[in-house]
Structure 1
Amino acid sequence: MTDRAVADRARALPRAGRTGPGGPEGGCPEPLSVLAHGAATRPRLLIFGATDLAGALSWAGGFLGYRVTVCDARPTGATAARFPYADEVVSGRPHPYLRRTQVDERTVVCVLTRDVEGDLPLLRLALDLPLGYVGAMGSRNVHEGRLRLLREEGVTEDRLTRLCRLTDFDRGTHTPEEMAVSITAEIVSRVGRGAGRTPP
């Protein structure tokens, strides 16, 4: 049990691009410490859609150690002033940006625009890349419609299983901050256990 706990904590640090101690918190009969050295850059969180939720999610992602980018095609929405917690704010079409930017298996993509047909080129591309997590905002009906359109465009079922539905909360009872906490909790859970990754 101790070996597993140490290994899990040690793996989490380099995955986040961090260096630090990784010993167990308790239950070990003798003092034990492990130093995990993280040489990698910080993992990336790519948020598509300059919404209020994007602002809260950029803060939450930064708190978790992600290098956060917010991208939106509308120049009036994608501004640094609106997203002070983002490391980068991009005014441009989402799928060309995703095609040219650097990603890896730790990269998280969250699509918040709710434009089902307009998001298809972005999601098709994202599902073909070796990303750690791909999620899109929408109700169950919206998500099913999105999956149907992607199938019609030739996206295979093994790729579609990688697409997560970001819960479409009732705006009257849930704040963007609450939604961001829920989304990041799911991301941590899935990326931590390797869910959503596609083999090379």
Structure 2
Amino acid sequence: MIIDVWTSLKLAAKNFFWLVFLSVPVLYFFDYLIYLPIVIILFLIQSIVIYLKNCKYVVDIKVGEFSFPRSDLENSIFQIITFQPYWDLMRRRTVKISSIENIYLDTQRWTESKDVVSGSYSSGKTKFRKVKKKRVLFNINVTGEFGSANFKFVNRQKRDELRNALEQTVKRIKGAVVDKKVSELNY
């Protein structure tokens, strides 16, 4: 079992923040602000469910199954309209280890820049300077008879733990090497 606390905690916190942020104006508009504490508790419970469903990856060699957070992309307009990827945050998927055919690694790197106040000019106008921050996201793509799944990690160690657990389990069950050692691209 691989536990990824930070990625799932960020996902749950983002869900909680946005739901509360969007619900306050709606409740205010319809004059239902007295229900805000109940709504916040419901959103907290939902965010806890999202955390619990997304924090672990289970590679079970005894039963030959791999259980992971659902990460499907939309395949139809209906799935886009019904926000299927959002509802999938609260679900898990289980596949047979024997159905895994390939494992690919990917690292996304980008730079974000923002203006930070650095003082003021003699005229009183605020002075800004650009601050750049490098961002990294570690991904693993698992493909096979079941389709594909993409998992995002903020920590390279957790991604590599999952890759190794899957690779070793597939090797024991199928006798096949599935990790293609695709080099990571730096772009």
Does the TM-score normalized on the shorter chain lie above 0.5? no
By percentage of residues, which structure has more helix? Answer: 2
Which TM-score tier does this pair reach, normalised by the shorter chain?
under 0.3
**Greater RCO structure (CA 8 Å; 6+ sep):** 2
- The normalised TM-score by structure 1 is 0.20
- The normalised TM-score by structure 2 is 0.21
